[in-house]
């Protein structure tokens, strides 16, 4: 597959799927400690069952603040690049969302349990191998709709102001979770949270060294914040296929760098 040439633009470092974006909306997690940002907006934002997204008309003021190069035209491509310069269409929702047969940090049948079928199958293989290694991985947050991300971002703006909100949550359309190809992963050793300390656990170390074997990458690696535009997120894995994931892992690339080669 021919890879597009990506023009890099260094911007403010954001947190792509911070605690603010991993919201249980009242869900009872497995003895999980509720993240600070979740406590702030849990009473404001509720997660609804998966349904077809409808375009919104009140996000223009938000999107004008970002240097959007082009709205993604190939959202179903497993190698689609989504970031603050290449947002997804408002009405994009994957047509093949399924719930992978893996353990989660919550019990409810929420949209964040779902990912695209190709990613779900790969996740099941990854989690099965981790279990063989006596490692305890849990899914924390998968698919997230444009409207869900908009609600999270808007709630954070109301609570913290827009400048601070941009540091802890992605602007709607710019979250990889909308692709259905990403999953936040956690473990009991970090209180079922999504925090940087996950990288220091046995699970986090194993995930970093083995995710590529199943087609996943650590989407926002440490030390590459100026390229990805996002803070280090050792818990956020993105499906790109085994071939691309292996090249990215072996060369220490970001996804952006891989697509530019």
Each domain of the chain, given as residue ranges in start order, spans 103-143+180-261, 148-173
176 phi and psi, to 5 degrees? -65, -25
pLDDT at 180 over 80: yes
Q: Which of 104-108, 163-167, 216-220 has the lowest mean pLDDT?
A: 163-167
Q: Return the CATH fold of 103-143+180-261.
A: Muramoyl-pentapeptide Carboxypeptidase; domain 2 (3.30.1380)
Residue 81: which residues within 8 A CB-CB, separation 6 or more? Answer: 4, 6, 72, 255, 256, 259
With cut-offs at 50, 70 and 90, classify the pLDDT of residue 50: low
Average pLDDT for 126-135: 98
Write down the pLDDT at residue 230. 84
104 close to 83: Cβ distance less than 8 angstroms: no
Q: 8 versus 127: which is more confidently predicted?
A: 127
With cut-offs at 50, 70 and 90, classify the pLDDT of residue 166: confident
Write down the pLDDT at residue 142. 98
Q: What percent of the chain has pLDDT over 90?
A: 65
CA distance 245 to 215: 5
Average pLDDT for 75-79: 97
112 close to 47: Cβ distance less than 8 angstroms: yes
pLDDT at 245 over 50: yes
Write down the pLDDT at residue 31. 35
Write down the pLDDT at residue 115. 99
Q: Which of 106-115, 147-156, 213-222 has the lowest mean pLDDT?
A: 147-156
Nearest alpha carbon to residue 17 among 188, 203, 184, 185: 184
């Amino acid at each position: 597959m021919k890879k597009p040439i990506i023009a890099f633009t260094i911007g403010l470092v954001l947190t792509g799927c911070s605690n603010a974006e991993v919201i249980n909306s009242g869900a009872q997690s497995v003895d999980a400690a509720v993240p600070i940002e979740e406590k702030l907006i849990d009473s404001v934002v509720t997660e609804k069952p998966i349904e077809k997204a409808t375009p919104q008309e009140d996000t223009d003021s938000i999107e004008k603040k970002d240097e959007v190069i082009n709205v993604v035209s190939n959202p179903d491509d497993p190698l689609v690049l989504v970031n603050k310069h290449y947002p997804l269409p408002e009405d994009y929702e994957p047509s093949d969302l399924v719930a992978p047969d893996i353990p989660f940090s919550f019990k409810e049948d929420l949209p964040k349990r779902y990912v695209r079928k190709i990613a779900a199958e790969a996740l099941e293989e990854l989690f099965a191998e981790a279990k063989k290694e006596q490692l305890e991985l849990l899914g924390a947050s998968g698919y997230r709709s444009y409207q869900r991300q908009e609600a999270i971002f808007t709630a954070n703006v109301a609570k913290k102001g827009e400048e601070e909100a941009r540091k802890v949550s992605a602007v709607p359309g710019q979250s990889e979770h909308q692709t259905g190809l990403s999953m936040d992963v956690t473990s009991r050793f970090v209180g079922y949270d999504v925090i940087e300390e996950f990288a220091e656990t046995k699970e986090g170390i194993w995930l970093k060294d083995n995710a590529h074997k199943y087609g996943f990458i650590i989407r926002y690696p440490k030390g590459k914040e100026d390229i990805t535009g996002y803070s280090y997120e050792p818990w956020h894995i993105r499906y790109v296929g085994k071939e691309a994931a292996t090249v990215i892992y072996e060369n220490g690339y970001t996804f952006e760098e891989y697509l530019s080669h």
